Structure formats: C-alpha cells, structure tokens
C-alpha cells in the first residue's frame, strides 16, 4: 500500500510571501546552518499527519472538511520574528501571528481531536500560531551571528491576509527538496467582517 506524506495547512497570500522573502534575504547568509523554507512552499501548518495510506486520503479530506465547517474566514496579521524553543537555542525561525491566532487555535484543536479518534498521533504540545521561515541545522558560532541578524527584525511587519481556505497537502521528497500537491481545498465560512 502506497503512503503519502500528508498535512493540513493554510496557503500564504502573495503580499505576505513578498514581505517574507525580503525578511529571509536580510537574514540568510551562506553557510549559516539554516535550512530556509523556499518561499513558494510557505504555508501555515495546522496539522501534520505524516505518512498516510493512500486509501485513507478521502477520509482525511472528509475529516478536514467537517472540522473546517464551523470556522469563519478571518484576518491574520503576521508581525515579529522569533524562534522555537527560544532565541537562546533557536531550532525553528518563524514569523509570529499578532492577530487571528485564537480562531486558528480553535480549528487546530478540532483537527487534533478528530484525527486522534481515527488513530492519528496527537501533537504533544499546544499549537502556537507561527509561520516557519527556516530550521536551524547546525549549531555553533553561526547561531550568535544569526541572532544578531534577527534582532533588528523582532518587530518586522509582514502584513495581513484573509484566511478563507484550508488545504490538504501531499508532500513528495526528492533530491531537490519537497514538492507539494493540493489534494483538497476547503472554503471557510464567509463573515461580515472578513473583508
């Protein structure tokens, strides 16, 4: 049985992508030990399911649709740059979400509960809204330099976007990196203040 690496995420708007590209250009340095996310792959992950047997993809999409049903369209504002677990020992460099996080956190909670009931492993930590920009692969003196480059951008404004869809993605890895295919697109409920 074929398995498909699967996750549920929000696609990122072109204007936010442009701002993120400028930020990453300011931060990255050859040999900095960070695997920067290719800008065409930027997305806001809600739930990573891992390897899913292809005969379960329809079920995965149906659960995503049920969980997204009550979710209203909402504006999300990306502002500030930070790191997980923290700036002293960064592993994941990310843009923070200054507005819209609670609506997404509620959706993530529904996704976690629904997928756990059909055997998918729940996340061990609470979901914190963020947009991953890069993953630190190598420690050492380059980390101090990375932190120094991040400091002037702690309050960077990447803009806002309307979250009006959620997508179920398949990820295929090869020598050039991941390729993402959209397996389903779910349109969220319009609201009077979504514009």
* Sign of the torsion formed by the C-alpha atoms of 73, 79, 83 and 86: negative
Q: Could you tell me if residue 178 is inside a domain?
A: yes
* Domain harbouring 79, CATH code: 3.90.1140.10
CB 95 within 8 A of CB 131: yes
Is 77 inside a domain boundary?
yes
In a domain, 20, yes or no: yes
Within-domain flag for 182: yes
The mean per-residue pLDDT over the stretch 53-60 comes to 96
pLDDT in tens, 73-126: 999 999 999 999 888 888 999 999 999 999 999 999 999 999 999 999 998 888
3-state secondary structure the chain: CCEEEEEEEEECCHHHHHHHHHHHHHHCCCCCCEEECCHHHCEEEEEEEEEEEHHHHHHHHHHHHHHHCCCECEEEEEEEEEEECCCCCCCEEEEEEEECHHHHHHHHHHHHHHHHHCCCCCCCCCCCCEEEEEEECCCCHHHHHHHHHHHHHCCCEEEEEEECEEEEEEEEEECCEEEEEEEEEEECECCCCCC
Interval 12-26: pLDDT, tens: 999 999 999 999 999
Classify residue 18: in a domain, yes or no. Answer: yes
Q: Does 194 reside within a domain? A: no
Q: pLDDT band at 137, cuts 50/70/90?
A: confident
pTM of structure: 0.89
Instruction: Tally the C-alpha atoms within 13 A of residue 162's C-alpha that lie toward its C-beta.
Output: 12
Residue holding tokens 């590209």?
Answer: 21
pLDDT tens for each residue of 139-183? 666 788 888 899 898 899 999 999 999 999 999 988 777 889 999
pLDDT of residue 192: 58
Asked if residue 174 belongs to a domain, the reply is yes
Within-domain flag for 193 = no
| Residue 58 belongs to domain spanning | 3-187
Cα-based torsion angle of the residue sequence 98, 101, 102, 106 in order, rounded to the nearest 10 degrees = -170
Q: Structural domain tally of the chain?
A: 1
């Amino acid at each position: 049985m074929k398995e498909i690496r699967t996750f549920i995420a929000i696609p990122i708007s072109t204007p936010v992508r442009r701002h993120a590209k400028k930020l990453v250009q300011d931060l990255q340095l050859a040999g900095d030990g960070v695997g920067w996310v290719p800008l065409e792959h930027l997305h806001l992950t809600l739930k990573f399911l891992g390897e899913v047997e292809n005969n379960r993809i329809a079920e995965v999409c149906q659960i995503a649709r049920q969980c997204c049903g009550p979710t209203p369209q909402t504006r999300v504002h990306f502002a500030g740059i930070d790191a997980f677990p923290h700036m002293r020992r960064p592993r994941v460099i990310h843009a923070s979400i200054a507005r819209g996080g609670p609506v997404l956190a509620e959706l993530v909670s529904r996704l976690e509960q629904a997928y756990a009931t059909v055997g998918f492993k729940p996340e061990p930590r609470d979901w914190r809204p963020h947009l991953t920009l890069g993953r630190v692969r190598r420690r050492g003196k380059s980390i101090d330099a990375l932190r120094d480059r991040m400091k002037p951008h702690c309050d960077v404004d990447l803009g806002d976007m309307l979250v009006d869809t959620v997508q179920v993605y398949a990820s295929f890895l090869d020598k050039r990196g991941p390729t993402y295919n959209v397996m389903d697109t779910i349109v969220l409920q319009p609201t009077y203040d979504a514009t």
